Amino acid sequence: MGLNEMMKRRQFFKGGVITGALAGITGVSAEELAKTPKQVEGPFYPKVAQKDKDFDLTKIDGQEGTAKGKVVIISGVILNTDGTPVEDATVDLWQANAAGRYNHPSDKNKAPLDPNFQGWAIVPSGKNGEFKFKTIVPGSYPASEDWSRPPHIHFKVSKLGYAELITQMYFPGEKLNDTDKLLQRVPEADRAALIAKLKSEDPPTYEFRIVIDKV
């Protein structure tokens, strides 16, 4: 990676990171600070080692191509249940590509792989608990004969002294959210915490707040 590209990536990570959301932390209600609901890790946590696990999943270091699909920004913040931002938490993210296929040896989906899609990222949360990713909207895929999973992104958040959280983020307005067996298992009052909020159309930017608890 060249020096100019490195600078652009650093500027992307540092610039425009949900400052409005962070400024409003003190006004977050007790309901909003309930712990983020847990979800299953699923069978497709990455097994294939890869060097490039940075915040930009639309490109792979050393390759010229760009991932297929609708490019979006996922920004958010990691909070303790008392509203305190959690710095240096490990934010581990993985997802299917735009065709609904994981880069995983156990994924038997016949949809094509995307050689330009990173698919997996691990970054630390920043000083104010913030994180940010550039990715594509994952495709839906069949989980069984009578069940198709909606677009979703897996998260694993961990830090020493906190309970590890494994969960999934869903996109608003997706019809398959209403029939997804995993999302529908979550109590109705808690489901909104797993559905990202669209904050900007240009570029499409979604906000996902994650609340973890100390052990």
Tokens of 125: 């949360």
For position 33, what pLDDT does the model report? 82
Task: Kindly list the distances between the CA atom of residue 44 and the CA atoms of 94, 108, 109, 122, in Å, as whole numbers in the listed order.
Answer: 9, 11, 12, 16
Condensed to tens digits (0 to 9), the pLDDT of residues 134-153 reads: 999 999 999 999 999 999 99
* pLDDT digit string, tens, across residues 109-134: 999 999 999 999 999 999 999 999 99
Biggest CA pair distance of the chain? 49
**Average pLDDT, integer, range 43-50:** 94
Catalytic machinery residues: 102, 141, 149, 152, 154
- Across the range 30-44, mean pLDDT stands at 87
Residues whose CB falls within 8 Å of the CB of residue 134, separated by 6 or more in sequence, listed in order? 12, 55, 56, 57, 58, 71, 72, 73, 74
d(CA 125, CA 180): 29
Structure pTM? 0.87
Residue owning tokens 């993985």:
94
| Other Cβ atoms closer than 10 A to 156 | 16
Looking at residue 57, what DSSP letter applies? T
> Residue 208 in contact with residue 21, Cβ under 8 Å?
no
Which domains can be identified in the chain, with CATH numbers?
Answer: 3-212 (2.60.130.10)
Instruction: Please give the Cα distance from 14 to 184 (Å, whole number).
Output: 36
Q: Using alpha carbons only, what angle is made at residue 191 by residues 186 and 197, rounded to the nearest 5 degrees? A: 155
Q: How far apart are CA 197 and CA 97, in angstroms?
A: 21
pLDDT averaged over the chain?
90
- In 3D, which of 60, 52, 77 has the Cα closest to residue 210? 77
The tens digit of pLDDT for each residue in 69-113 reads 999 999 999 999 999 999 999 999 999 999 999 999 999 999 999
